[in-house]
Amino acid sequence: MTNDNLETRQEVNPTDNLLNELADMKRRMDEMIPVDKYSELEKQNKKLLNDFVNARPAPKQEIYKKEDLDTASRQLVELGKKGVTNREYVEASLRHRNISLEITGKDPYGQNGQKSPESIRSAEFFQ
């Protein structure tokens, strides 16, 4: 056998391995957040989440009267004569539709005042 084929091995001291592991563990512990600070942050997070969820207002349910339908109809006609933007006209048209559905049960977007998949789809598209 020649010396070229022999592998040189370095002996590793087991104490060095343990010291390296301990140093690594100490470094990781230094990077950790203390338990009391973590629990405080967790409480703040829960409070913020609770405030956010409970602070949202409930959806407003509008109650319409027959006069509201007449007013919405007049406004829609007047807006058509004024030459307003498409967005304003569509918003007024949707408001008129919602009032009409609630008061009369008829859908002005539908054929013969009946709700249809097309009328629902067109109303949802613009909302």
pTM for this entry: 0.44
Q: Give the model confidence (pLDDT) of 88-108 as tens digits.
A: 888 888 888 888 888 888 887
Question: 9-39, pLDDT tens digit by residue?
Answer: 556 677 788 888 888 888 888 888 888 888 8
CA distances (Å), origin 85, targets 6, 32, 66, 94, 127 = 88, 58, 27, 14, 16
Could you tell me if 118 and 124 are in contact, meaning their C-beta atoms sit under 8 angstroms apart?
no
Mean pLDDT value of segment 64-84: 81
